[in-house]
Chain A
Amino acid sequence: MALPQPGPDAASRAALRFIQRILPGVDAVEAGPLSDPAFPRTDPPQLSAAPTLDGSRMRAETVQGEPEARFAAFLDGTQSVRIVARHGGVPIVLGIVAAGVRARVDRRLIAWTGSAPRVERRLYLPFAYAPALSFEGDATFGVVDTTDAALGELPSRHPAALLESAIKSVRRDRERLESALAEAWCAACDEPICIDGGIASNPRVASSALAVGVVKTHNTIHADGPDLELVLGLAQGERTTPFRIESGGRAQVTSWYLRLRDNRGHDATWGLVRIEACATVTTAEEVDRISRWVLAEGAPLALPDGRWDKMSYGVRNSEEFLRAIA
């Protein structure tokens, strides 16, 4: 559980010192980390029906067989965003991203030795609105221009918009780290890895039979109409028939919904995860097999994390690990 932080942490203070060396007049901002690193939501809630693999209507299937623990590792990434200073009205954002693989050896989770966990500390600055801020980073702090044309449309000068674009950049960096580590695992190992989130962003990972993505958030539900009812009504241990997800710029993957825990007394998505696997996973047997792996991770509970209904203990352990080193 994260303890309340009364003031800037060591990384923020270091970042501030770094900036003040370059811009002595910059104003320090006394603020803790943004409470919800996912803020602002980039994906508004939406329904996006996806075709089932066999072209039939979506069905609820009971996962056949007993849960079996097959994941040899868990991958997760973290991001932390802080406004450490402002230059005029421009927020200077410190983003710390980290990603790591926790390998399971003799039922214990340890850092995967194949590729070290990665931590990056960067300052996210809108060069376009504050030319004075267009300085270069050093070994400790990299600098990212959040108004780089390559990132798309120029954000508004509004401080909130600048913050939002910084956060998007931070998220991109996190995904990049995660993706690199997932790719390294798939290249070096021959056992499955459980990845927190989707796998479609990296084609190499998405095409690996070892990578299994477990998506916990449901801003986009890949079902509509009666299928939506079916998804939200899945009982514990049930899954949907697999469907194909193919979105612009992302690799094609096979996906299905799986209810990990009985959601009686909770909301409809409680205990509900969406699984992503490589597109070659097509048969019910393969889908059941991977579902059994995910179901096996139901214990130990990921408490006290509030997402414990969907989160595996391995992923929580990865998060804790990254929090400690980042």
Chain B
Amino acid sequence: MTGQALGRVVATERRPNTPHQFHFWTAVTSPVGIGTIVRVDGEHPVDGQLPKIYGAVIEGFSYSDLVSPMHDVLGHDGEPSSAGFAPTERTEIRLYTAAVLRMIPEEPLQPVPMGSVFLADENDVAVALRMDSYLRDGASTGIPIGIYHAGGTDAPIYLDADFLVGPEAAHLNITGVSGLATKTSAVEWLLSSLFTHFPKEKGTIAAVAFNVKGPDLCYLDQPGRIEPADEAMYEKMRVPAKPFDNVRYYAAYDAGGYNLNTLRSNDALLHNVQPLTWGLREVLQYAEVLLNKDDVDAKADAVIDFIRDKIAGREFRDERLARRRYKVDSFAELDEWFRDVLAMLEEANSESYRTHHVATIRKVRNRLTNIALRCAGLVTAEGTVSDLPFGSFEDRGVYVVDVALLEEDAQDLIFTRIVSKLREHLERRNLGVDHVVVFVDELNKYAATEGPETYVRKMLLDIAERGRYLGLVLFGAQQFRSQVHRRVVGNSGTSLFGRMDADELAAPGYAVLSQAIKTKLSTLEKGQLMVRHPHFTQPVFIRFPRPAVMQGREGVELFPQAAEVSLDAAVTRSLRVLDPSISLEWVKQQIALREDDEVIQARNATVLAHPRDVKAFFASRMRPLAPVRAEAPKQRPVSIKLPVGDDPYGF
């Protein structure tokens, strides 16, 4: 091995070395710091082999030959400024404690011997972190996560795809304080890296990202500004510094039903933004998500099951009801059915309908129809469905679901349904890709340790515990890891830590970290992370490049959110994406005499269908207007002139 020794292993009776930890000193000017990876070359062979020990520095000490600080005070007459004039600097030691990463040979496991300490070079880092086992030529499953830097060493750090995406282990959790643009940036960068380096033999992969706040994920297809240092990192890790090629956005409408409820509503970016709208069937499958447990007792549950099984989306006949035959595909139609049932019961002076008590029916009606109001914009009364392309997901595609501006109920519903659908399709192996990374920020909120049991949390726990067998991988982020459910973070094979809050670091979960590591964690810069991965026996500090995508703040300035517009303008905006020749005047003419609901339905159907002749299709989706009858010309009234005579007031 090359390089000059930068330290010597030392051990005393009071501070001995062990198989898992050793101490060494260095020159005051050495580039060693907390997190630095070093190599110890043993001097006496074990089983004929000179041992090599790799370690990561976890603690550092510095002291001089002073016995008491008072001696220094006396030496400088109590004047700190005079210390600089002393002709000699006191002898000072830099003593470090390192945790063993790996020993070669690995058996017999012995305490770390005395020896020279060297700064680990790139090869050493690969060996120390056991990356050599998955970076083999032709069979590499390494996914670059960042660059480890110490002294003159810049070594790429790789995660093992088998332990990041499955099947050995899976999931990634990232934690750190807000506002440093680290968590989201790290995930954006890691997705780029994953898409670039995910081994072909492991199949295809896509990502579904939930944008839960601000414009963070709204510009993944737009190029961002990166510095030369970032470019160098991209080059070293062989990841192209460019935005994602294949991104599709999904956003619900606002309560009005015609403006997309997303910050990515600028006309220039609408080409890959699709509305996310669900009808009765989609919502009923996950109605429990939105219904309070206290509301949905067994009786109410039975009514909902009845509706789900017998009514929604099916032909339903009941001679006692006013219409007798029903085809309930929307909330509006469901409400008509409810009305007829309740009217029938009232008329018949009966208290139950098919064993369901009238009070329960009223309650369920109230709760279900309320969903359409609470999730207005997402849930369409007429039942139009515009959804993620389950079944035709594309390899290396990113599907961003923007829920940032939605109410909490709608967020929960979207979240639960999409992830459940992903799971269903992955189980059936018909999603379109073999693996899906689901990125969820704010796990504090969705999978909190405390608080009521929610469907979202149950579903996240399910992914965390069983997702890796399916290829469903959770990339979760949060500010306070200690407040996320233990089973979610515990099942996360890989953990990333950005700058941490001191209060958070005081949580019991961080007790395994040394005080120096905690100090470093609390002072990490933007772009720095601590990585824990199953192959790494100790945390590793890395630096990752700025993602090559436009950052939210910049995107908002360059592509400001479209103002809320009138119905005709909103329809024009939607249809123009499909047919640029469509003008506001044309739309105005088409919808002038229409009800808003009818126009929205036609717009939704058109957007969903992507027809070749957009104008014709849109027009055809509205009821034809009754022809205007030609009215006979009205006769002008003629005044009756009477003979005036001698009447002075006559005409």
Contact = CB atoms under 8 A, between A and B. Distances in A.
Interface string B461-494: 0000000000000000000000000000000000
A301 B91 contact: no
Interface string A123-164: 000000000000000000000000000000000000000000
Contacts of A65: none
Interface residues of A, number: 20
B65 to A, nearest CB: 7
B114 to A, nearest CB: 14
A300 B71 CA distance: 9
Interface in B203-262: none
B268 to A, nearest CB: 60
Contacts of A301: 71-72, 74-75
Interface string B65-99: 11110011011100000110111111100000000
A71 B88 CA distance: 10
A320 B87 contact: no
A314 B75 CA distance: 14
Given A299-B76, A299-B82, A303-B66, A104 B87 contact: yes
A108 B64 CA distance: 13
Given A300-B89, A303-B66, A303-B71, 14 more contacts: A107-B88, A109-B91, A298-B75, A299-B85, A299-B87, A300-B72, A300-B76, A300-B86, A301-B74, A303-B74, A313-B88, A316-B65, A317-B65, A320-B65
A314 B90 CA distance: 9
A237 to B, nearest CB: 14
Residue with the greatest number of chain B CB neighbours at <10 A, chosen from A1, A298, A301, A316: A301
B67 A297 contact: no
A298 B82 CA distance: 12
Contacts of A1: 67
A304 B66 CA distance: 7
Interface in B28-70: 65-68
Contacts of B83: 299
B91 A296 contact: no
B69 to A, nearest CB: 11
A299 B89 contact: no
Contacts of A316: 65
Nearest to A67: B87
B91 A303 contact: no
Contacts of B75: 298-301, 303
Interface in A275-311: 296-301, 303-304
Nearest to A104: B88
Nearest to A308: B71
A303 B88 CA distance: 14
Contacts of A299: 75-76, 82-83, 85-87
A320 B91 CA distance: 10
B24 to A, nearest CB: 16
A293 to B, nearest CB: 9
Interface in B364-390: none
B87 A107 contact: yes
A72 to B, nearest CB: 10
Given A299-B76, A303-B66, A320-B65, A313 B71 contact: no
Nearest to B86: A299
A43 to B, nearest CB: 30
Interface in A69-110: 69, 71, 104, 107-109
B88 A108 contact: yes
A301 B88 CA distance: 10
A320 B74 CA distance: 21
Contacts of A317: 65, 88, 91
A306 to B, nearest CB: 12
A69 B87 CA distance: 6
Contacts of A109: 88, 91
A298 B83 CA distance: 12
A300 B64 CA distance: 12
Nearest to B82: A299
Contacts of B76: 299-300
Nearest to B29: A108
Nearest to A300: B75
Residue with the greatest number of chain A CB neighbours at <10 A, chosen from B72, B83, B85, B89: B89
Given A299-B75, A299-B76, A299-B82, A304 B87 contact: no
A304 B88 contact: no
Nearest to A71: B87
